[in-house]
Structure 1
Amino acid sequence: MKYSVEKEEKYCLFKLNESKLDSTLAPALKSEFITIHAEGVKNIILDMSEVKYSDSSGLSALLVGNRLFSENEGVFIITAPTDHVMKLIKISQLDKVLNILPTVEESVDAVFMNEIEKDLNQEENGQ
């Protein structure tokens, strides 16, 4: 699986450099998500701008990532999905479950907004 990872202070940008996210790649992607999460990364942005095709196992990998990073008040954001991938997400009604944004910049902003909200909630709760 071809990909690049840029780790920043508040998030990790994971760019999938593959044209297909299918049953041959999905298990490796799930493993990468688990590894990155185990390293202490709370927020991940998955850049899918290169992915032209996905199948149900690819969507399953996205759901694993979403569950992993969302369970500890982190965020999992899919950015720049292609038309085909977006159609599949909508048909599966996963657009109601997944955070999907059109650009990396908007995704980074969303991560920082989530961090600010989390900090404010902790202050309000006296933590």
Structure 2
Amino acid sequence: MNVAIEEHDHIVTLTLNEERLDAHNSSELKTQLLSLFEDGKVNIIIDLSPVRFIDSSGLGALVSGFKNASSREGGLKLCGLQSQVKSMFELTRLHRVFEIFPGTEEALASF
């Protein structure tokens, strides 16, 4: 999985440079998130702007990350959702679970 990682003080931004977040790569995202949590990095922003398609495995990886961040008194926030991805969040009502922002600057300011 092609992921760009940036650190801003106590916040880590992951940009998923993939067009799809699905069964083929969602386990890699889960592993990467767990590694960050184990390193004590619990405030995470995931930039999904390059992602054009997400399936239940991709959503599951994000929910897993959200639960792990919350259990460590941190937060996992999303930004840059394209219309098809946003529709999946609305269809599954996950837009009520996650804080979703237009871009990384807004997400960074929310921590």
Q: Which has the higher helix share?
A: 1
The TM-score normalised by the length of structure 1 is 0.85
Q: Which ranges of 4 or more aligned residues in structure 1 deviate by more than 3 Å?
A: none
TM-superposition CA deviations, 1:78-98 (whole Å, max 9, x none): 011111111001100111111
Corresponding residue number in structure 1 for 2:101: 101
Percentage of identical aligned residues: 31
CA-to-aligned-CA distance 1:82-126 (integer Å, 9 cap, x gap) = 111110011001111111111111100011xxxxxxxxxxxxxxx
Structure 1: 5+ residue runs without aligned partners?
Answer: 112-127
After superposition, what is the alpha-carbon deviation per residue over 1:26-72, rounded to whole angstroms, capped at 9, x for unaligned? 00000000001101102000000000000010000110111111122
- 1:10 aligns with 10
The SS at the match of 2:14 is: strand
1:8-43 Cα offsets, whole Å, 9 max, x none, are: 221001000000000001000000000011011020
Q: Report matched runs for 1:2-41 at 5 Å.
A: 2-41=2-41
Write 1 or 2 for the structure with the bigger share of strand: 2
What amino acid is the match of 1:82?
Q
Question: How many residue pairs are counted as aligned between the two chains?
Answer: 111
With normalisation by structure 2, the TM-score equals: 0.97
Larger radius of gyration: 1
Report the Cα distance in structure 2 between the residues aligned to 1:22 and 1:42, rounded to whole angstroms.
Answer: 23
Q: Residue 91 of structure 2 corresponds to which residue in structure 1?
A: 91
Unaligned runs of 5+ in 2: none
